[in-house]
């Protein structure tokens, strides 16, 4: 049997500070415009709601659920489980994600939003894991770069656990 241990990688205070800074930066960038934030469920919800509270320009939100896995293997085929409720046509879209790893799914989604007529499409993530990248995807805004380790907390999970941690942790397993 394996015991799960969580080691703090980024503290709750650091996460809060960085999200506040990101909200201010995005507010300046979108001054005079409205942002249509799209969250990729489930992990991005924690980050998107905290970020939205710190953005001073008008914000609208939508949510999307997708799958790009067959078993435990990531594929380049993206299956839409829950599509957007609203059209993105003519909107400044900010895709908000918990972590960018391989970039496969997000690459497909960003292209899809452009094809659907968004005025602009940018990507904002809480965590960027560039060592895991297999696509050439541009991350416009990243709060933190993280090493190629399994991270949990602040929306990120392991078997649906640990999403509610107020910090980012690295999960380590030990035999018991």
CB-based contacts of 25: which residues, under 8 Å, 6+ apart? 141
Q: What are the angstrom distances between the C-alpha of 15 and each of 19, 42, 57, 153? A: 6, 19, 21, 11
Distance CA 103, CA 39 (A): 15
**Burial class (CB within 10 angstroms; exposed 0-12, middle 13-18, buried 19+) of 147:** exposed
Q: Which two tokens stand for residue 21?
A: 């800074």
Whether 157 is a known active-site residue: answer no
Instruction: Choose the catalytic residue: 101, 128, 148, 157.
Output: 101
Rg (CA), the chain: 16
| Catalytic residue positions, numbered | 101
């Amino acid at each position: 049997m394996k015991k799960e241990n969580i080691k703090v990688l980024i503290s709750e205070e650091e996460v809060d500070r960085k999200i506040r800074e990101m909200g201010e930066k995005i507010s300046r960038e979108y001054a005079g415009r409205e942002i249509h934030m799209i969250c990729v469920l489930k992990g991005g919800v924690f980050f998107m709601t905290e970020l939205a509270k710190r953005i001073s320009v008008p914000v609208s939100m939508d949510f999307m659920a997708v799958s790009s896995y067959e078993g435990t293997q990531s594929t380049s085929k993206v299956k839409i489980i829950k599509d957007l409720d609203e059209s993105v046509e003519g909107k400044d879209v900010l895709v908000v994600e918990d972590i960018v790893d391989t970039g496969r799914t997000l690459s497909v989604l960003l292209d899809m939003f452009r094809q659907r007529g968004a005025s602009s499409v940018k990507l904002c993530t809480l965590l960027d894991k560039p060592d895991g990248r297999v696509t050439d995807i541009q991350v416009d805004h990243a709060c933190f770069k993280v090493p190629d380790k399994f991270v949990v907390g602040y929306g990120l999970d392991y078997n649906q656990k640990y999403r509610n941690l107020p910090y980012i942790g690295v999960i380590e397993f030990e035999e018991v």
